[in-house]
Amino acid sequence: MMIGILFQIFIVLVCAYVAGLLGGLLGLGGAVVLTPLLTIFIDLPIQYAAGISLLSAVGTSVTSGYRYLKLKIPDLRIFLFMVSAGTTGAIIGSFLLYELMKTEYTWILYIVFSIVMYIAAFFTVKQAPKREMEPLSDRLNKSKGFSIQGKYFDPALHLYVDYYVGKKRIFESWGVMLFGGLMSGLLGIGGGPINMFALYGIQSLPIKVASATSNLIVGVTASTSGSIYWQFGYIHPFLSAVSIIGIIAGALHASYLLPKTKGSTIKIVLLSVFCI
């Protein structure tokens, strides 16, 4: 009995560490990784795995986000605009989950989870080549104006990287982010994959800026969904505490890796997580 409990704690810690590492590095928050791991390895029902993952995603966001903010990687203007969409969708999605759990169609959640991941991967791949091949100066010349422009220092490249986001892309990505919040509440994934598609695929932010900004958004979205999950009784306090310890360790490690990691490496890992 005791050995079984200790083994379960160990499994949760390892899964949480992996989720925190990948979530902090890729801007996914960790919930999208932790939810399937908990359902597979300790056979948790998806609603309880989602509740634990959402609380853990807040830990990832706070841990890695603090360091990213010190390095001035996230774009706070984009964060403040996009987070309204994420939180609105998270509230709607959480109540949809509650109603769905009353029915016999909970298997739909697993199918929707897989579809969301593959769609995010497809559109991210589809958008990436055009963005990488088109110089910033050409995009500025084609644009009638832009609303947000910024830059950040990339330690891996040893130079400042400029970027801009046009008004049209901001409003397009707001709608996508609303859907991401909806998936956060419905599936307990924090909205990370959809956030990355919106920020990297649509807004054409550099991968590191997109990842760091997404981490902040996931924290707000996950805390919104998580508080509602708590009211519904979908959060296991003990397993959540164990998971948060592991995921914070992973997120802290990721916060040191991201500035030094090449953007191409992050893209490969991101697409791999989407497809798995």
What are the residue ranges in the chain where pLDDT is below 50? 128-133
CA of residue 146 relative to chain centroid, distance: 26
What tens digit of pLDDT does each residue of 192-250 get? 788 888 998 889 899 889 989 998 998 899 899 989 999 988 888 888 989 989 988 98
Which residues are 153's β-sheet partners?
A: 160
The upper half-sphere exposure of residue 188, i.e. CA atoms within 13 Å in the direction of its Cβ, equals 30
Domain ranges for the chain? 2-275
Which residues, at least 6 apart from 137, have a Cβ–Cβ distance to it below 8 Å?
none
- 47 and 228 Cβ atoms separated by less than 8 Å: no
> Are residues 208 and 263 in contact, defined by beta-carbon separation less than 8 angstroms?
yes
Nearest to 52, CA basis, from 181, 180, 188, 182 = 188
Residue 263: per-residue pLDDT: 74
Query: Which tokens in the block code for residue 87?
Result: 């939180």
pTM over 0.75: yes
* Three-class secondary structure of residue 160 per DSSP: strand
* Residue among 54, 10, 60, 37 at smallest CA distance from 253: 60
- Provide DSSP, 138-164: HHHHH-S--SEEEEEEETTTTEEEEEE
Q: What is the pLDDT of residue 129?
A: 43
Residue 216 and residue 82 in contact, taking contact as beta carbons nearer than 8 Å: no
Residue 128 CB neighbours (<10 A): 16
